[in-house]
Amino acid sequence: MPPRVRILAAAAAGWLAFAPPAASQTASETASVLAAVQQRGTVRCGVTYSPGFAANDASGRPTGFMVELCRALAAAVLGNAEAIELRSLSKPQEFAALEGGEVDVSFAQTSWTFPRDALHRIDFGPPVFHDDQGIAAWPRDDGKPPLQAGGVTVCVPAATTSQRVLEEYAARSGQSWRILPYPTWPDALQAFIGKECAALSTDRALLTAALRAPDVPKPGADIAALPVPTREPIAPLTGSADRTWVGIVRWTMFALMLAEEKGVTADNAAILRTTGGSEVQRLLQGIPEVAQRTGLRPDWAYQAITQVGNYGEIFERTIGERSPYRLPRGPNRPWSSGGLLYAPVFQ
* Residue 73 CA: distances (Å) to CA of 9, 16, 45, 105, 276: 25, 17, 10, 10, 23
Q: At residue 230, does pLDDT exceed 50?
A: yes
% of the chain residues with pLDDT over 70: 89
* pTM of the entire predicted model: 0.86
The CA distance from 89 to 71, in Å, is 18
DSSP 230: -
CATH annotation of 133-230: 3.40.190.10
Phi, psi of 88 (to 5 degrees): -75, 125
Average pLDDT, the chain: 88
pLDDT in the model for residue 7:
37
Q: Which of 24-38, 150-164, 242-256 has the lowest average pLDDT?
A: 24-38
pLDDT in the model for residue 3:
39
pLDDT in the model for residue 173:
87
Q: At residue 160, does pLDDT exceed 60?
A: yes
Domains 3-130+233-337 and 133-230 share a fold: yes
pLDDT in the model for residue 9:
36
Q: At residue 278, does pLDDT exceed 60?
A: yes
The CA distance from 216 to 317, in Å, is 19
Specify the higher pLDDT residue, 21 or 200: 200
Determine whether 243 is exposed, middle or buried from the number of CB atoms within 10 Å of its CB (0-12, 13-18, 19+). exposed
What's the pLDDT band for 95 if we cut at 50, 70, 90?
very high
Mean pLDDT of 140-144: 75
Mean pLDDT of 11-34: 47
Q: Which of 92-96, 210-214, 309-313 has the lowest average pLDDT?
A: 210-214
SS3 306: helix
pLDDT in the model for residue 52:
94
Mean pLDDT of 116-137: 94
Tell me the CATH number of domain 3-130+233-337, given options 3.40.50.2300, 3.30.70.100, 3.30.70.1280, 3.40.190.10.
Answer: 3.40.190.10
Specify the higher pLDDT residue, 56 or 208: 208
Q: At residue 22, does pLDDT exceed 70?
A: no
pLDDT in the model for residue 217:
64
Angle between helix axes 278-285 and 243-262 (nearest 10 degrees) is 130
Domain ranges of the chain: 3-130+233-337, 133-230
Query: What are the tens digits of pLDDT across the range 36-91?
Result: 999 999 999 999 998 899 988 888 888 999 999 999 999 999 999 999 999 999 87
pLDDT in the model for residue 219:
58
